[in-house]
Amino acid sequence: MAAALARLSRRTLADPSRLVPLRRLLSAEAAAPAVSPAAGPPLTPSDRVKWDYRGQRRIIPLGQWVPNIAVDAYVAPNVVLAGQVTVCDGASVWNGAVLRGDLNKITVGFCSNVQERCVLHAAWKSPTGLPAETLVERYVTLGAYSLLRSCTIEPECIIGQHSILMEGSLVETNSILESGSVLPPGRRIPTGELWAGNPARFVRKLTHEEILEIPKLAVAINDLMQSHFSEFLPYSTVYLEVEKMKKALNISL
């Protein structure tokens, strides 16, 4: 039964006149009219691509700004890097994160990790005198679902899950932010302290042992990243699927 149905649909698809809408759906050129918002005619709702077979591109250059991933860094396949983003050596960006440097620079430093579904964005300017770029230095662990906007995180810090860092906040070396904490704009966390809460408050000083643990955690996550990294081949083989499908639908390559 299924085979018969497949044969029938194959026969219908072979007829080129019925293929026009399908072809439009499949070809990337369908989206082309939207290229320049100023010049080209805007998309009509019927022209909007509902299913882009390419999925979301991982690297989205904006003008001259191209996101830059170091060879050693792991960036999960469904991460979006847009604009001025730099991911340094040994850093890892895990699934579902969005790093959008369209207004200012975003840097993820050596051996840092940005865990699942984090959002890093930068504003035009910050209320404090600091530059408004989002700077994550080396050996920083950003927990899942954390949100960073134009803040500076100095080396060897831990930012807990679900924490929110607003414009112009500064986390100094060797400090820890508990999960679920919110740093209001322009707040500074001094060296070697533990902060928590919404808005974040001082909890206690960190002991020497805890401070030594911070880079170890980053390195442990770096090790984990290596195993994920090795799972991905440099080039995917999806283009074969695309070719196969285009051939099945009689679209010239």
User: How many other β-carbons are positioned within 10 Å of the β-carbon of residue 163?
Assistant: 26
Question: To the nearest whole angstrom, how small is the minimum distance from the Cβ of residue 13 to other proteins?
Answer: 17
Pick from 209, 159, 220: which is nearest to 189 by CA? 159
Peptide bond into 37 cis (omega under 30): no
Nearer to other proteins, 108 or 214 (CB): 108
Nearer to other proteins, 17 or 44 (CB): 44
- Taking CB atoms within 8 Å and a gap of at least 24, the contacts of 172-178 are 174/206, 174/211, 174/214, 175/206, 176/206, 176/210, 176/214, 178/203
Nearer to other proteins, 59 or 224 (CB): 59
Nearer to other proteins, 59 or 211 (CB): 59
Q: What does the binding site for other proteins look like in residue numbers (CB under 8 A)?
A: 27-29, 31-32, 34-38, 42-45, 47-57, 60-64, 66, 78, 80, 82, 96, 98, 100, 102-104, 117, 119, 121-127, 145, 147, 149, 162, 164, 166-167, 180, 182, 184, 198, 236-238, 240-242, 245
Question: To the nearest whole angstrom, how small is the minimum distance from the Cβ of residue 205 to other proteins?
Answer: 25
Q: What is the DSSP letter of 17?
A: G
Question: To the nearest whole angstrom, how small is the minimum distance from the Cβ of residue 79 to other proteins?
Answer: 9
Question: To the nearest whole angstrom, how small is the minimum distance from the Cβ of residue 228 to other proteins?
Answer: 13
Q: Which residues pair with 62 in a beta bridge?
A: 65
Q: Which residues pair with 177 in a beta bridge?
A: 159, 195
- The backbone torsions φ and ψ at residue 9, rounded to the nearest 5 degrees and listed phi first, read -70, -35
Round to whole Å and give the CA distance between 194 and 233. Answer: 40
Question: To the nearest whole angstrom, how small is the minimum distance from the Cβ of residue 86 to other proteins?
Answer: 14
Nearer to other proteins, 4 or 253 (CB): 253
